[in-house]
Amino acid sequence: MFTIGVDFGTNSVRALVVRASDGAEYGSRVVDYPSGAQGVLLDPLDGHLARQHPGDYLVGLEQSIRGALAEAAGKRDFSPAKVVGVGVDSTGSSPIPVDPTNRPLALAEDWKRDLNAQCWLWKDHTSWREAARITELCAEIRPQFIAKCGGVYSSEWFWAKIWHCLNVAPKTFEAAYSWVELADWAPSVLAGVVDPRRVKRGVCAAGHKALYSDDWGGLPDKEFLSALDSRLADLRDRLYEKAYDATEPAGSLCPEWAERLGLPEGIAIAIGEFDVHYGAIGCGVGEGTLVKVIGTSTCDCAVVPADKRVADIPGICGIVKGAILPGYFGIEAGQSAVGDIFKWWVEGVCGGDAALHEQLTAEASRQKPGQAGVLALDWNNGNRTILVDQLLSGLLIGQDLYTTRADIYRALIEATAFGARAIIERIQEYGVRIDKVVCTGGIAEKNPLLMQIYADVTGCAMHVAGSTQTCALGSAIAAAVLAGAHPDFAAAEAAMTSLKPTHYEPRAENRKVFDQLYALYRDLHDSFGGLTKSADLSRVMKTLIEIKYGQRA
């Protein structure tokens, strides 16, 4: 038996055909989104805005699956008739306004040029004011709502984006019958669902981004939503009552899409999850394993068995029963920019390309920790965890007239490692076991310098997932379990996932210096992040200079 995983990313969609018995990858295809700047619709007057055209998802869905099937067709034991299921993951929170037939508004002639009628991509931060008000109202009348999502509601999330649409584009809001997360909408398309109220919603998106919990009857109650705006309370009736984990199918492949793709009609469609959540499954996540999906941003995923108690953890992106892995609490955290920061520096500021990335990496690799005397904060796209503040921005300190491009490049890598350490320490502080870190994504596979720095900064060995496409693999694993190829997710992970033999152990001589630098990072982090107003920053520059000359000596 074979299954297909479809991964909707920030700039492209990929499909992966895998053998269900062992996870062997038979075919894949990546399709770039045709609209906007590398698939993202932007507004030059508002740097917080990031949208995507839903039509790109339909084009990418068909072309990626057909392309992956075409490549798999070259293998002797493969046939499309042997495909028994499809799983889908996506970025999030990426809600789409839809009409009563589950058709995105942006596909209609009247709305195709309206940015507010598009999919509101995960990294759209235009709703920061609404997010702040939701946080305030939760604290006043529903503290339990945000206790499970770190105590702060983010502008990256579902309700803030929809409310912002209502505030800035009321006509668009009124034209939308409902809103559906991309992670839920794409499976519903394959299943032929034409009523938004009948779309099977995944608990990943619902619990981590939409304040959903079975503990309080699902989505936020109408009294709470009316305190924001009565029209949000009215919308609740057109959303959903129940969200499901990955043991529940989103539906079965409808005749139209079976014919378009050349697949058997009626095969299982797995419930949609976020890319990083299925990516965690593709890395073999279990209790004690932290998965870091490192891309344009980074998401950290951990799980704790559902029969154990998990304390509320300030600053994380959610603790949701059934999210990530069925039978576990899913814990999510992350950084709003990682690869995006390196891309900004090398391509945006330095005007370079892939060759310059390689050159600066080589130059930075020859440096010792702290040798350049430059320290950075990793907030170029705000802070997702542990501060949950999208109004924060990047910072460089310690540069002088001799600072090079490579010095700054390395400082930016180190800054993302310091941010990763802050997340790990916060999760551990609240009793969640982390025995092993597994990383995935192109950066983890191709940048040994970054991986070694992460090991040295965090004190954790860094392992790399065996598959280069773990998000799509995790989606395919979910489909394999639903199709009966494996009895449960534990068996499927054991059979279908692996680790690369190369891993990165912390180096004691580097750890000592990085501990000093991390202390300075936390002084800046806690001061500019608003955690403390008493830190003495007057020694930061001087200490950086001391470390610099100590390392050079």
Question: CATH number, domain at 252?
Answer: 3.30.420.40
126 inside domain: yes
CA distance 534 to 381: 26
Of 271, 303, 333, the residue at which a domain comes to its end is 271
CA distance 134 to 117: 22
pTM as predicted: 0.91
CA separation, residue 404 to residues 60, 64, 408, 540 (Å): 41, 41, 7, 20
Mean pLDDT for each 10-residue chunk of the chain (553 residues)?
Answer: 96 97 97 96 94 98 98 94 98 96 97 97 95 96 92 93 98 98 98 97 96 96 97 97 97 98 98 96 96 92 95 91 96 93 96 96 97 97 90 96 98 98 96 95 93 97 96 98 97 97 95 97 96 89 96 91
Q: Are residues 328 and 239 in the same domain?
A: no
* Number of domains the chain is built from: 2
Helix intervals (H) in 386-539: 405-429, 442-446, 448-458, 470-482, 489-496, 508-528
456 inside domain: yes
Of 219, 237, 271, the residue at which a domain comes to its end is 271
| Predicted pLDDT of residue 296 | 85
353 inside domain: yes
279 inside domain: no
Q: Are residues 349 and 252 in the same domain?
A: no
424 inside domain: yes
| Predicted pLDDT of residue 533 | 84
Q: Are residues 311 and 435 in the same domain?
A: yes
| Predicted pLDDT of residue 534 | 80
276 inside domain: no
Q: Are residues 351 and 377 in the same domain?
A: yes
304 inside domain: yes
Domain that holds residue 114: 2-271
| Predicted pLDDT of residue 522 | 97
ω into residue 365 within 30 of 0, thus cis? no
| Predicted pLDDT of residue 535 | 80
Of 228, 245, 271, the residue at which a domain comes to its end is 271
Tokens describing residue 370:
């702290």
Q: Are residues 145 and 203 in the same domain?
A: yes
Q: Are residues 461 and 391 in the same domain?
A: yes
Q: Are residues 442 and 536 in the same domain?
A: yes
Q: Are residues 426 and 522 in the same domain?
A: yes
Q: Are residues 175 and 89 in the same domain?
A: yes
475 inside domain: no
Q: Are residues 522 and 410 in the same domain?
A: yes
CA distance 140 to 445: 45
Q: Are residues 257 and 403 in the same domain?
A: no
| Rg (the chain; Cα; Å) | 23
Q: Are residues 201 and 300 in the same domain?
A: no
